Amino acid sequence: MTDQQSDQPEPTSQQQRLIDVGLELFERIAPGLEFSIRLLPEDDAVVVYRAVRGGGSIYVAPDETVLFASSAAPPHEAIKAFREGRRTPKEQFVYRPPAEGR
């Protein structure tokens, strides 16, 4: 499930494809949760995020490469790293169940 910021236009088909990539990766690491999206038209990209402590953001580039930024990363630093070309290998998106007792 996603929530789009109300001040944004509907995503184009290209943006929707990128949103789907981000959602699929989040589903791998946090199944069944709700996420929000923000279009980044100046970068031809999108960001799928969970704005809660322990959440995070997945920036998805037009070529479908991604950058994961933890919720501890300030957004201005995450977008800077994304624009500089830093990426997270998709193989790193693996579900890790919480430790017992947590």
Q: pLDDT per residue over 6-49, tens digit each?
A: 577 899 999 999 999 999 999 999 888 889 999 999 999 999 99
For the CA atoms of 17, 66, 49, 24, the dihedral, rounded to the nearest 10 degrees, stands at: 50
DSSP bridge pairs for 89: none
**What is the pTM (predicted TM-score) of this model?**
0.86
What's the pLDDT tens digit per position in 40-73?
Answer: 999 999 999 987 777 899 999 999 999 999 988 9
Residue 99 lies in a domain: no
Residue 72 lies in a domain: yes
Residue 51 lies in a domain: yes
Residue 44 lies in a domain: yes
5 pLDDT more than 60: no
Please give the residue range of the domain that contains residue 12. Answer: 2-90
102 pLDDT more than 70: no
What is the C-alpha separation between 56 and 26, in angstroms, rounded?
9
Give how many domains the chain has, as a whole number: 1
